[in-house]
Amino acid sequence: MIKNHLALLPILIPLTGAMVALLLRKQRRLQAGWTLGTMLTAFAASLWLLAEIWGSGRPAVFQSGGWPAPAGITLVGDMLSALFVVMTQLVMVTGILYALGSRDTVVKYPTFFPLFLTLAAGLTGAMLTGDLFNMFVFAELLVISGTMLTAMSDDRYGAEAAYKYFYISLLASFFMLLAVGCLYVSYGTLNLADLAVRIDTQGARLLLWPGIAFLLVTFMVKSAVFPFHFWQPDFHTAAPTPVSAMLSSVVVKLGVYGFLRMTTLLFVAQAPLIQAVLVGLGVIGVIFGGLSAIGTHNVKRMLAYSTLAQIGFILVGIGWGTPLALAAAIVFAFNHSLIKAAMLMLAGYIASRASIKSAAFEVVTGVGKPLPGAGVLFFVGSLALAGIPPTNGFVSKLLLFNSGVEAARFWALFLIGLASILTLIYTIRAFGRIWWQPPAAGITTKPAGDRLLAPLILIGLVLLLGLWAEPLVGVAYETGLWLGDPAGYVQAVLGG
């Protein structure tokens, strides 16, 4: 009984915490401390949830109000949801740590920390819910919080980037509503498990394919998959550092989660076509993202394009669809969140030390000379992004390529293997410009800036998960097996 209620905690704790944090808006230090405490508690609760599910081998299903599944609102924590929630909340904790040590004015606004918590609640909720419409509601909460955090950024283009993103997101949420309508009119339910059963038994109805297409587009916009990526580099560059580290690492994983659910639970019979689309777009994303990242003149923008490429790798893994490839995609998603959050924080740290607060190459060239500590962290992060041992990036790429060989998909493998060299080129070039080149005339390094604690923790985890990868890989294998058996999920939700 306790176990089923655990699925509620990772959502409820940040949501309640956000309300209390709003009440504490006059006491800034107390509010910041409260936010960190809330997020740590939520992280502990999600770890507990994962441990319980892992231990008992059954999903935790919470039927709110005691109404049984297809009628009531259901929260489902299976291995996939729990693992993604753990990843989200871990990165969110470091984001708050970074915000606590940040010198931006944005973190001093009374609504900054409450919005951060609602961002966490929205993302967690969208991953734990067992109902398509609730996923829409939580995704909207996430989008609105993220946009507000960007709109009040120190960057003077924050409002424009926020407008661009929010506009696209509103359109995406209309698409999601259309998908909800198409699926509801065809099958008469919105509960994911019930929907999966009915689509399986009743076969394809007239509006099934439009529903699939609308849902695909929605998740592609959420994940910034090529060709729906155009808002992402602006948005991730203009956001305040702690927020952009969240947006580019965990928030884009909502789409990844959606694709996993679509191909392994909802549309199992229709999955081959969806997977083919995902592999195609993933390969294009890897190549396009890599080339665009090489062509940028701003570290943050480079990392945002790099997210496009890395999401491409994950999509290719989902598209291959074997249990091994799904496990590889999940490991890749988890590791990418840690690496990308750390790298964006380091980029923000460098920008906070530069003479004007910007991560453009002409401003930050040579700024790293007196900062060898940050240089080491950035170098390890670059290695991880490019997939070189002893980092976790190596583990994820090894698993992905391994699964590609096993699935005998050599063309896609060849293309993404070739494109992953691009990663090495742009990260090492950024490292060289910031830490090796002599600063240009008039470029000085400020004596103080943001604190390095949060990226230090993340890079520590990157190395730890690179040297001791068994636990994560084991959990991901188990998750891949669970995803191969949607009947277990359905049975846990609907009973019987």
Partner 1 sequence: MELLTALAVGLLFAIGVFQVLRRNVIRSVIGLIILSNGVNLFLLMTGIVDGIDPAYTTATGLRSDALPQALILTAIVISMGGIAFVLSILYIISARYKTADMDEVEGLKN
Q: Which residues bind partner 1 (CB under 8 A)?
A: 133, 136-137, 140, 144, 147-148, 151, 156-157, 159-164, 166-167, 170-171, 173-174, 177-178, 180-181, 184-185, 190, 234, 238
Q: How far is the CB of 214 from partner 1 (least distance, A)?
A: 10
Q: Which is nearer to partner 1, 237 or 263 (by Cβ)?
A: 237
Q: How far is the CB of 67 from partner 1 (least distance, A)?
A: 13
Q: How far is the CB of 152 from partner 1 (least distance, A)?
A: 10
Backbone phi and psi for residue 76, each to the nearest 5 degrees, phi listed first = -120, 120
Q: Which helix (H) or strand (E) holds 74?
A: strand 74-77
Q: Which is nearer to partner 1, 29 or 156 (by Cβ)?
A: 156
What is the Cα 190 distance to its own chain's centre? Answer: 24
Q: How far is the CB of 400 from partner 1 (least distance, A)?
A: 33
Q: How many residues belong to the chain? A: 496
What's the rounded Cα separation, in Å, for the pair 337 and 254? Answer: 12
Token match 């109902």: residue? 131
Q: Which is nearer to partner 1, 85 or 180 (by Cβ)?
A: 180
Sign of CA dihedral 415, 420, 422, 425: negative
Structure tokens given for 162? 């926020």
What is the torsion angle, in degrees rounded to the nearest 10, for the CA atoms of residue 161, residue 163, residue 168 and residue 174?
150
Q: Which is nearer to partner 1, 161 or 490 (by Cβ)?
A: 161
What's the rounded Cα separation, in Å, for the pair 251 and 400? Answer: 22
Q: How far is the CB of 190 from partner 1 (least distance, A)?
A: 8
Q: Which is nearer to partner 1, 48 or 133 (by Cβ)?
A: 133
What's the rounded Cα separation, in Å, for the pair 281 and 288? Answer: 10
Q: How many CA atoms lie within 13 A of 230 on its CB side?
A: 5
Amino acid at 198: R
Q: How far is the CB of 199 from partner 1 (least distance, A)?
A: 16
CB atoms within 10 A of CB 19: 11
Q: Which is nearer to partner 1, 146 or 319 (by Cβ)?
A: 146
Query: What DSSP state is assigned to residue 360?
Result: B
Q: How far is the CB of 278 from partner 1 (least distance, A)?
A: 26
Q: Which is nearer to partner 1, 45 or 303 (by Cβ)?
A: 303
